[in-house]
Amino acid sequence: MKDRILETIRHIEGPRDGCNAYNRLEECGDFIADCFRSSGFVVEYDLLEFSGRQYRNIIATASGLREMEDWVMVCAHYDAVPDSPGADDNASGVAVMLELARQLGPRKGLQLVAFTLEEPQQTGTTFLLGSKHFVKEMKRQGQNYRAVYNLESVGYVNSEPGSQSLPFFVKAPKTGDFIAVVANAKSHSLIEYFERAAADCTPHLEVFPYKVPLNGYILPESRFSDHAPFWDAGYPAVMVTDTAMLRNPNYHTTFDKIETLSPDFMSQVAQAMIRTVSDILKN
């Protein structure tokens, strides 16, 4: 599993921002779609226009979106900021999602989505464009979601005491070797599924659960990824993360490379996610 996750990151790592590296972003999209198909999924695109170009969210299901389900979703964004190879942010999340696709295969009610244009665009104030467009379209279609797990930067750990920064009023470990699962009030049960799964199949993976009030508006860092549009639409969603800029000094820099990531940590996160999704789909 570790080798496959690393191989996926090597395929995705590199320039892929939506403005300056559009062609490379599209190549990464093709790679992700091919991986979904090779795992047996039906692949569809949610297309959006931005700044005169067409972008795509990549959707993988067992038989297509014409089937109406109470979906269990795992998602991750595949774009990066300019001038960053984006290994942790967010090739790591995509790699874990694709490993889940390989291990579980297409199942009724399972939806996997690779989001585009998560990162800030141009002025820096426009972001989450792909997931916002997707959630609006799914609402229009009448699709429902009973669980959304957003994988956002899941590969960096630091076992040195004091390596973990924290927002002002958040009480959490100060050593950056845990995986955080961030929920709003409506999605707290999704944390419990993940905690039980991790305790059972990856007991050495430290899980830090955190529930934010008011859909996270009083803690902006909790809304910097693709789960936030699901919160705003009333869907239960959580962010699974190594906490990104609060831990990783390479965040949004040229140093966000595969050599800085932990294969063991990513493999544990993948195993916990696979068990989590399997358990939810059984209920």
Q: Which CATH number characterizes residue 238's domain?
A: 3.40.630.10
- Measure the CA–CA gap between 246 and 138, rounded to whole angstroms: 32
Q: Strands 175-176 and 179-183, how do they pair?
A: unpaired
Q: How far apart are CA 135 and CA 119, in angstroms?
A: 17
Tell me how far apart the alpha carbons of residues 58 and 51 are, in angstroms, rounded to a whole number.
20
Q: How confident is the model at residue 215 (pLDDT cuts 50, 70, 90)?
A: very high
- Which has more confidence, 123 or 208? 208
- Kindly state the helix (H) or strand (E) to which residue 71 belongs, with its residue range: strand 70-77
Residue type at 22 in one-letter notation? Y
Position 67 scores a pLDDT of 78
Contact residues for 220 (Cβ-Cβ < 8 A; gap 6+): none
**What pLDDT does 123 receive?**
67
Q: If you average pLDDT over residues 85-106, what whole number do you get?
A: 98
The answer to whether the beta carbons of residues 268 and 205 sit under 8 Å apart is yes
User: What does the pLDDT look like over 216-264, one tens digit per residue?
Assistant: 999 999 999 999 999 999 999 999 999 999 999 999 999 999 999 999 9
Strand order in the sheet with 70-77: 42-50, 53-61, 110-115, 70-77, 144-152, 237-241, 179-183, 207-211
Report whether the peptide linkage leading into residue 23 is cis, meaning its omega lies within 30 degrees of zero.
no
Asked if 239 contacts 152 with a C-beta cutoff of 8 angstroms, the reply is yes
Domain count, the chain: 1
**Secondary structure, 3-state, 11-56:** HHCCCCCCCCCHHHHHHHHHHHHHHHHHCCCEEEEEEEEECCEEEE
Residue 209 CB burial class (10 angstroms; 0-12, 13-18, ≥19) = middle
Counted residue by residue, the chain has a size of 283
pLDDT band at 283 (very low <50, low <70, confident <90, very high): confident
Confidence of residue 169 (pLDDT cuts 50, 70, 90): confident
Res. 281: pLDDT tops 80: yes
pLDDT > 90: what percent of the chain?
A: 95
Residues spanned by the domain of 265: 2-282
Q: Say if CB 22 and CB 16 are below 8 A apart.
A: no
* DSSP conformation letters of 121-189: BTTTTB--HHHHHHHHHHHHHT-EEEEEEEEE-----EEEET-----TT----SEE--EEEEE-GGGHH
Q: What is the pLDDT of residue 259?
A: 98
Q: Is pTM beyond 0.95 here?
A: yes
Q: Average pLDDT of 83-101? A: 98
Using alpha carbons only, give the angle 96, 99, 105 rounded to the nearest 5 degrees. Answer: 135
pLDDT, mean over the chain: 96
Task: Give pLDDT tens digits for 24-57.
Answer: 999 999 999 999 999 999 999 999 999 999 999 9
d(CA 231, CA 109): 20
Closest CA to 174 of 144, 206, 204: 206
pLDDT at 124: 63
